[in-house]
Amino acid sequence: MNATAFFSLINYTLMFKNGLIFCLIFIFLGCNKKNDVVTYPPFFVKAFSVNGNTTTVQYNVSYLPTVKLFFSMPVNKATIPVNVSLLENGTLIIPVNYAYESNDSIVVIQPQIALRPLTKYFFSATTACRSLSGVSLKTDFTGSFITKIDSTDKFPLITDNQLLDKVQQQTFKYFWDFGHPVSGMARERNTSGDLVTSGGTGFGMMAIPVAVSRNFISRTEGLNRTLKIVDFLKNNCTKYHGAFPHWINGATGATIPFSSNDNGADLVETSFLMQGLLVARQYFNSASDPVEIDLRTKINQLWDAVEWNWFRKNNENVLYWHWSPNLSWVINAQVRGWNEALITYVMASSSRTDSIAKIVYDNGWAGNGSIRNNNTYYGYNLPLGPSNGGPMFFEHYSFMGIDPNGLNDAYANYQTQTTNHTKINYEYCKANPRNHFGYSEFCWGLTASDIPGNGYNASEPNNDVGVIAPTAALSSFPYTPVESMKALKFFYYTLGDKLWGPFGFYDAFSLKDAWFAGSTLAIDQGPIIVMIENYRSNLIWNLFTSCPEIKNGLRRLGFTAPYL
């Protein structure tokens, strides 16, 4: 090979290698160009603060707070005003000003108007928010806070006695103004239409003597309403071995099933009703007024017709709660203590026509002593019932008529039981071991009530969802007058703009949720009227325990008391 050919081969080889390298570079660069999609990190809200506080749950927030949203990268400010908002209770949009910090990665929200006290506010950012580089917010973000309580008085200050009068009178309107127009009976709740309740009606009947004695209504008005109810019970309502159902149609008297299996007798509700009937009989006691004589005759007919022993289900030594005309004893719920149904055994023992024997009380109600507790909670000995006492209605429903003062039997001193259970409930709320916002020596009382979300809960220290029911503290006036008065003043003066309604206090509230019920329930309103009166004058206790058959019935069960 000559020199020229040799150099030509070398040049050709170099050109080939360079071309190959160029092609490879072109291909490499082309591939990179084709896949050159810039990937940004996710865009999200890292944290938030309200007035500098970064805790998840925020209470006692000022009325002009500063809310900050900490984003993971700078925001596109043009996307913020329509996609970051502040809402009252999740619906009402609050006008706000926006500002930006930390190179636009912090959005600052400040309301243009003062927020309302004790109200829940939500702040949110939607996925339509963009970062400065155009990335969408990964997920919607929502936070919330509750503004502080307005501690100013919502109503003019009045004396304690005037306040008790006002509470009793306003609460009585539930039974008087809102009583069913046909039957006069108490509706289950303020949305119940024709549905009335037998037990709640008994409580309402006990409230009538209070209303007469306090001059809320005249004696004639009270007598006529009581007679209207009694006539309806006697002539219109279906009875089951003398007992009444839980719910009744107030226009027709037909039974309204409480549940699919509970479509007949409810013995516990019947005992609440009979308690009210006997109080009315003792109050309207004129020997010369033919209307009062007629009323007492009809009450005795209803009272004497209850077949208490039938509810022992084939003579068992225990009473049964329910009986159905077509399903018989299908619910199979025995009435055993400790709960609200002591009155059921007292009424059954006191019957003039069908009294139960003491063994039914000892074996059934008392479980031969199994109702005893005798442990100490918050420094108070609890004779009976579950740990920490259970819901407060245990010490209200039966003791609207039965005076616990000086009352003893083989199982307990009932003055100690009722007082100490209440003290435990009070001390638990004051100690607030679950850290529910708002609980204090002024804001206490756990019992069965409505709760947020259209629910119902038997609240008590072992089942505490953060809901206070005014009836718990107010119906405990005979047991804890100082503590109950503190609660009453807080409910009325401090929370009254949200808690006080046309029929007295609404059923319940939760400060931790800024929630106030719009409901009123007969079984919660009745005890407030009656138990405040027992605290003030012993009126209903004196009337009920003046019944000769009640004295006999209590003695038959082994009770002792000064009034026996």
DSSP bridge pairs for 189? 521
Would you give the distance in Å from CA 437 to the centre of its chain?
A: 16
Categorize the per-residue pLDDT at 412 as very low, low, confident or very high, splitting at 50, 70 and 90.
very high
CA distance 478 to 484: 9
Categorize the per-residue pLDDT at 34 as very low, low, confident or very high, splitting at 50, 70 and 90.
very low
Would you give the distance in Å from CA 55 to the centre of its chain?
A: 27
- The string of DSSP codes covering 281-309 is HHHS--SS-HHHHHHHHHHHHHHHT--GG
Q: Which pLDDT value is given to residue 309?
A: 98
Parallel/antiparallel/unpaired status of strands 322-323 and 504-505: unpaired
Q: Which pLDDT value is given to residue 9?
A: 40
Record the tokens describing residue 453, joined without a space: 């979300």
| Non-local CB neighbours of 357 within 8 Å, separated by 6+ positions | 317
CA distance 344 to 417: 18
Q: What is the largest CA-CA distance in the chain?
A: 155
- Sequence-ordered strand ranges (E) for 23-105: 45-50, 67-71, 84-88, 92-93, 96-101
Do the beta carbons of residue 146 and residue 58 sit within 8 Å? yes
Parallel/antiparallel/unpaired status of strands 265-266 and 322-323: antiparallel
174-211 burial, b for 16+ CB within 10 Å, e for fewer? bbbebbbebbbbbbbbbebebbbbbbbbbbbbbbbbbb
Categorize the per-residue pLDDT at 142 as very low, low, confident or very high, splitting at 50, 70 and 90.
very high
Do the beta carbons of residue 180 and residue 189 sit within 8 Å? no
CA distance 177 to 58: 41
* 167 pLDDT higher than 50: yes
Q: Which pLDDT value is given to residue 28?
A: 41
Do the beta carbons of residue 43 and residue 131 sit within 8 Å? yes
Do the beta carbons of residue 384 and residue 373 sit within 8 Å? yes
DSSP 130: B
For the chain, give the mean pLDDT. Answer: 94
Q: Which pLDDT value is given to residue 175?
A: 98
DSSP 38: P
Q: Which pLDDT value is given to residue 182?
A: 98
Q: Does residue 338 have a cis peptide bond before it, meaning omega lies within 30 degrees of 0?
A: yes
CA distance 448 to 392: 8
Backbone Cα Rg of the chain? 35
DSSP bridge pairs for 82? none
DSSP 180: -
- Sequence-ordered strand ranges (E) for 304-364: 322-323
Q: Which pLDDT value is given to residue 38?
A: 67
> Which residue from 477, 472, 484 is spatially nearest to 537, judged by alpha carbons?
477
* 145 pLDDT higher than 50: yes
Give pLDDT tens digits for 199-249: 999 999 999 999 999 999 999 999 999 999 999 999 999 999 999 999 999
Block residue for tokens 């006692």: 60
Q: Which pLDDT value is given to residue 56?
A: 86
Q: DSSP 3-state assignment of 89?
A: coil
* 5 pLDDT higher than 90: no
Do the beta carbons of residue 543 and residue 563 sit within 8 Å? no
* 1 pLDDT higher than 50: no
Q: Determine phi and psi for 24, rounding to 5 degrees.
A: -65, -40
> Which residue from 198, 564, 553 is spatially nearest to 342, judged by alpha carbons?
553
CA distance 395 to 375: 18
Q: DSSP 3-state assignment of 68?
A: strand
544-557 burial, b for 16+ CB within 10 Å, e for fewer? bbebebbbbbbebb
* 12 pLDDT higher than 70: no
Give pLDDT tens digits for 284-305: 999 999 999 999 999 999 999 9
Beta sheet of 92-93, edge-to-edge order: 92-93, 84-88, 120-125, 141-146
* 172 pLDDT higher than 80: yes
- What is the percentage of the chain residues whose pLDDT exceeds 90? 92
Q: Which pLDDT value is given to residue 90?
A: 87
* 473 pLDDT higher than 50: yes
Q: Which pLDDT value is given to residue 55?
A: 86
Total residues found in the chain within this entry: 564
Q: Which pLDDT value is given to residue 57?
A: 84
CA distance 12 to 470: 102
What is the value of pTM for the model shown? 0.91
* 17 pLDDT higher than 60: no
Neighbours of 53 (CB within 10 A): 13
Would you give the distance in Å from CA 352 to the centre of its chain?
A: 38
Give pLDDT tens digits for 306-353: 999 999 999 999 999 999 999 999 999 999 999 999 999 999 999 999
Cα dist from 63 to 59, 122, 146, 178, whole Å:
11, 14, 10, 38
Give pLDDT tens digits for 497-512: 999 999 999 999 999 9
* 562 pLDDT higher than 50: yes
Give pLDDT tens digits for 102-124: 999 999 999 999 999 999 999 99
